[in-house]
Amino acid sequence: MATDSRSWFYNTPTARPFFIEERVNHTLWKNRLANVHMTCVRAEAPILMQGRWADEMPVEFEWQPGKWFRLRLGEESKEIVGTLRQILMFRPSFMYKDPDNMFVVEWHTDGGEARWRELQGQPQYQAVRRLKKAVEA
């Protein structure tokens, strides 16, 4: 099955864990992330998937179809971030370390201004960095 982000991010997928897993995993593998396998933990929006990269590093995806996508990793990985940028077809909005010391990158189709304000000044989020400018209205 050839899939891409249109079948699970840009359109709301059928809320069946196996279907979501199949679409996301095939998209990752098609884009040369063969050593990642994700399991769907929550099939309703926001959708949540968890897995491991190379059987070592924890990886988590959470997203609201068509609106935002959050990647959480045990450590920074330019390979995974770069591949997800290609898969989602737009640049990430910002990155930071969360209270669990996980490396987090977020993509927002609206630029993420509301989320950016939410993160500002919150001491539990460390090294918050904007990666692209907000969309001008």
- DSSP strand pairing (57-64 vs 68-73): antiparallel
Nearest of 85, 97, 83, 12 to residue 47 by alpha carbon: 12
Global pTM?
0.93
Quickly state the pLDDT bin for 55 (edges 50, 70, 90): confident
Domain assignment of residue 55, yes or no: yes
Domain assignment of residue 135, yes or no: no
The range of the structural domain enclosing residue 17 comes to 5-130
Domain assignment of residue 68, yes or no: yes
- Residue-wise pLDDT for 125-137, tens only, equals 999 999 866 555 4
Domain assignment of residue 31, yes or no: yes
Domain assignment of residue 26, yes or no: yes
Domain assignment of residue 44, yes or no: yes
Domain assignment of residue 136, yes or no: no
- Residue 69, H or E segment: strand 68-73
38 C-beta neighbours (distance < 10 Å), count: 21
